[in-house]
Amino acid sequence: MHYLTDRKRAVGLGSAKSGTMHHWHMMVSSVALVGLVPLFVFTFGAALGGTYEQTVAYYQRPFPAIIAALTLLVGFIHFKNGVMALIEDYVHGFARKALIIAMICTSYTAAAAGVFAVVKIAL
Amino acid sequence: MADVNRDNRPLSPHLTIYRWQITSVTSIFTRITGNALLIGALLIVWWFVAAATGPEAYARANGFLTSWFGDLVMFGSVAALWYHTLAGIRHLIWDSGHMLGVEQGEKLGLAAIAGAVVLTILTVILL
């Protein structure tokens, strides 16, 4: 057994000097989503299951369209930051980097596709 | 230096040995629900893209999302969303420096679970 601990090796190196921005971004997007989520659940829930004509007409109205675009955009940015913390905790080495990059790309692609679709329906 | 002796050191007791606590269970559940929401979110993006594409694409996506399987995913997603939202509000309260005691943390955890159940039932009734 060797008793040299991670802590022992870290002493004297100072703080990580990064990470507060990640936490701040999570806080800001959380606050935004506390407002957006209930509005999205009840607007999207009202539209889901409607006919094509009903759905297009519904999302041509400004309020549901803006709520949907904002929720998808902020939601996927919040997901991108959240899933990064998950991956950093459980995945190591090359797979960690590959997964983080894949999830960032997935998040931005989904956000862009969602916002584009809402804008196209609305205009 | 950083990776010396990583696998050859005594470990402190881990998850399997501790009694389950409401605080840790609700914390783990926050993470699970938040990340699982990717599935429902991608389905909803598909639904919007389909609606922007045309009637046939929309009929396919809308048909899938309102099938028994789609209903199941949407029900799970809305329950996960309410829970994650309430658990997130709990984190915002903690971040502001309030309710950090153990008993208060346990109360907040139970409130998040109960609130999520109530909001999920309410959503199912209203929609």
- Checking ipTM against 0.85, whether it exceeds it is yes
In this predicted structure, what is the pLDDT of residue A2?
65
Hey, is A114 helix, strand or coil?
helix
Whether chain A has a CB inside 8 Å of the CB on B107: the answer is no
In this predicted structure, what is the pLDDT of residue B2?
53
User: What pLDDT digit, counting tens, does each position of B55-114 carry?
Assistant: 999 999 999 999 999 999 999 999 999 999 999 999 999 999 999 999 999 999 999 999
Q: Residue B22's Cα: distance from chain center in Å?
A: 16
In this predicted structure, what is the pLDDT of residue B4?
60
Nearest to A44 among B35, B44, B88 (CB): B44
In this predicted structure, what is the pLDDT of residue B16?
75
- Asked if B48 lies within 8 A of A114 by C-beta distance, the reply is yes
Q: What is the pLDDT along chain A (123 residues), one digit of tens a residue?
A: 567 777 888 888 888 888 899 999 999 999 999 999 999 999 999 999 999 999 999 999 999 999 999 999 999 999 999 999 999 999 999 999 999 999 999 999 999 999 999 999 999
Q: How far apart are CA B68 and CA B62, in angstroms?
A: 12
In this predicted structure, what is the pLDDT of residue B26?
93
Q: Are A47 and A54 in contact (CB under 8 A)?
A: yes
Residues 61-90 of B with CB under 8 A from A: 62, 65-66, 74, 78, 81, 85, 88-89
What residue in A sits closest to B92 (Cα-Cα)?
Answer: A27
Most A-contacting residue of B38, B45, B67 (CB-CB within 10 A), to test interface: B45
> What are the residues whose beta carbons fall under 8 Å from the beta carbon of A22, sequence distance 6 or more?
A81, A84, A85
Hey, is A111 helix, strand or coil?
helix
pLDDT band at B14 (very low <50, low <70, confident <90, very high): confident
User: What pLDDT digit, counting tens, does each position of B29-53 carry?
Assistant: 999 999 999 999 999 999 999 999 9
Q: Are B37 and B80 in contact (CB under 8 A)?
A: yes
